[in-house]
A and B are shown apart, each in its own frame.
Chain A
Amino acid sequence: MPIVIENKPAQNLVIVTVDGRFDFTCHADFRKAFTDAPKGTSFVIDFGKVAYMDSAALGMLLLLREKVAGDPTRVELRNTQGQPREVLNVANFGQLFRLT
Chain B
Amino acid sequence: MLDKRDEIENLKRSLDLVIEGLKGDLVRARAVVRDAVGHLLASFRGLEGAVGTQKELLKSVASTLNQGADQHGNGLTKTTSKLLQEFIEQVVRVSGTSMQIIEHLIVLSEHVELISKDSSAIDRLARESRFIAFNARIETQRAGEAGVTFKVVADEIKRLAGASASLSSHIRQEVNQSFTCLDLIRKSATDLASHDMNTAIESRTGLLDIVNRLDEVNVTLESMLARVTTLIADATRALQFEDMLTQLLDGTLKKLSEVAALTRRAFDALGHDVNGTGIAEIQTISHLLTELAEPGAVAQSSMNQGEIELF
Using a CB–CB distance below 8 Å, which chain A residues touch chain B? 23-24, 27, 31, 53-56, 58-60, 62-63, 66, 83, 86-87, 90-92
Indicate whether A90 sits within 8 Å of B102 (C-beta atoms), given known contacts A55-B193, A58-B92, A58-B96: no
Q: Which 5 pairs, one residue from A and one from B, show the smallest C-beta to C-beta distance? A: A59-B95, A59-B99, A62-B96, A55-B195, A55-B95
Q: How many residues of B contact A (CB 8 A)?
A: 23
Interchain CB contact under 8 A, B99 and A60: yes
Least Cβ distance of B309 to chain A in Å? 69
Besides A27-B102, A59-B95, A92-B89, 12 other A-B contacts (C-beta < 8 A)? A23-B194, A53-B197, A54-B196, A56-B195, A58-B95, A62-B99, A63-B96, A63-B103, A83-B201, A90-B88, A90-B200, A91-B92
| A87-B201 Cα distance, complex, nearest whole Å | 7
Q: Report whether over half of chain A's contact residues are helix, strand or loop; otherwise say mixed.
A: helix
Least Cβ distance of B277 to chain A in Å? 111
Contact of B195 among A27, A31, A54, A83 (CB under 8 A): A54
Q: Name which residue of chain A comes closest to B201, CB basis.
A: A86
| A31-B100 Cα distance, complex, nearest whole Å | 12
- Whether B112 is near chain A, meaning CB under 8 Å from some CB there, is no
Q: Report whether over half of chain B's contact residues are helix, strand or loop; otherwise say mixed.
A: helix
Least Cβ distance of A45 to chain B in Å? 15
In the complex, number of A-B residue pairs with CB atoms less than 8 Å apart: 64
Using a CB–CB distance below 8 Å, which chain B residues touch chain A? 88-89, 91-92, 94-100, 102-103, 190, 193-198, 200-201, 204
| A63-B102 Cα distance, complex, nearest whole Å | 11
Contact of A56 among B97, B193, B204 (CB under 8 A): B193
| A66-B200 Cα distance, complex, nearest whole Å | 25
Interchain CB contact under 8 A, B100 and A90: no
For A56, A62, A66, A92, the residue with the greatest tally of chain B CB atoms inside 10 Å of its CB is: A56
For B99, B195, B198, the residue with the greatest tally of chain A CB atoms inside 10 Å of its CB is: B99
For A31, A83, A86, the residue with the greatest tally of chain B CB atoms inside 10 Å of its CB is: A86
Q: Name which residue of chain B comes closest to A27, CB basis.
A: B102
Indicate whether A55 sits within 8 Å of B201 (C-beta atoms), given known contacts A62-B96, A63-B100, A63-B103: no
| A92-B96 Cα distance, complex, nearest whole Å | 14
| A58-B197 Cα distance, complex, nearest whole Å | 10
| A64-B196 Cα distance, complex, nearest whole Å | 21
Measured between beta carbons, the chain A residues less than 8 angstroms from B197 are: 53-55, 58, 87, 90-91
Q: Name which residue of chain B comes closest to A63, CB basis.
A: B99
Interchain CB contact under 8 A, B194 and A91: no
